[in-house]
């Protein structure tokens, strides 16, 4: 049999689940590269080598695909942070170190996902945003601070505020480190914990503005 007469082998057709995962991977990459607004269903379909109706069939449109991508990234990051804070018997400084490393490791290993999370979500996206995620993490951090404040006779009512400050510092530093990638994440984590731990260690119980000019 000549090569011309040989039967043509068809590429294996994707199952519905495989196609869905392919579209999630394609959408994830495009949302990270261009953002939600600049990404179109046409581009998603073209990158996946499918027709537009296939995207609508699986996700109902761009917003549905985006929601799946964001939900997965939030779950991945939150799971890593929860694991780092799980054992409340661990010394609080070590908990801080573990949480900082978990956050930076997520950025290091899921760069596209983190870029998506820190971008603005579409107006119709009710949940799963980066700010909502940080609020959730702050609530968990708050419990650690309450226990430490009680040991030191500090007012526990201040714990939610300090928790927001700590989480904000880690999140903002993480965004900066995403672009610089220097120094190493272990060094960044150590510096963050150094500032937060020693800052907490020297807290005044009733801080007030001095009212004096600086300089």
CA angle 22-23-28, nearest 5°?
A: 100
Q: What is the mean pLDDT of residues 187-193?
A: 95
Among residues 126, 133, 194, 199, the alpha carbon closest in space to that of 167 is found at: 133
- Alpha-carbon gap, residue 192 to 189, rounded angstroms: 5
Q: What is the mean pLDDT of residues 184-193?
A: 95
- Alpha-carbon gap, residue 40 to 181, rounded angstroms: 30
**pLDDT score for 123:** 43
CATH 3.40.50.970 holds for 70-202? no
Tally the C-alpha atoms within 13 A of residue 51's C-alpha that lie toward its C-beta: 3
**3-class secondary-structure state, position 8:** coil
pTM > 0.75: yes or no: yes
**pLDDT score for 4:** 58
Residue 148 has pLDDT above 70, yes or no: yes
Categorize the per-residue pLDDT at 89 as very low, low, confident or very high, splitting at 50, 70 and 90. Answer: confident
Give percent above pLDDT 90 in the chain: 52
Q: How many helices (H) and strands (E) does the chain have?
A: 9, 0
Token duo for residue 24: 């999630």
Taken as a whole, the chain contains a residue count of 215
């Amino acid at each position: 049999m000549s090569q011309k007469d040989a039967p043509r082998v068809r590429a294996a057709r994707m199952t519905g689940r495989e196609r869905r995962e392919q579209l999630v991977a394609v959408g994830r990459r495009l949302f990270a590269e261009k953002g939600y607004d600049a990404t179109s269903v046409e581009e998603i379909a073209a990158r996946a080598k499918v027709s537009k109706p296939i995207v609508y069939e699986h996700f109902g449109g761009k917003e549905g695909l985006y929601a799946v991508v964001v939900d997965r990234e939030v779950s991945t990051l939150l799971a890593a942070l929860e694991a780092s804070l799980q054992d409340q018997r661990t010394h609080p400084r070590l908990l801080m170190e573990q949480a900082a490393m978990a956050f930076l490791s997520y950025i290091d290993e899921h760069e596209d996902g983190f870029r998506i999370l820190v971008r603005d979500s579409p107006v119709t996206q009710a949940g799963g945003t980066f700010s909502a995620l940080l609020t959730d993490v702050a609530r968990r951090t708050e419990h650690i601070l309450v226990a430490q404040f009680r040991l030191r006779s500090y007012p526990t009512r201040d714990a939610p505020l300090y928790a927001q400050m700590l989480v904000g510092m880690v999140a903002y530093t993480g965004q900066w480190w995403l672009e610089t990638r220097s120094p190493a994440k272990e060094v960044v984590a150590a510096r963050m914990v150094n500032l937060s731990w020693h800052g907490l260690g020297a807290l005044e119980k009733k801080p007030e503005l001095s009212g004096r000019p600086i300089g």
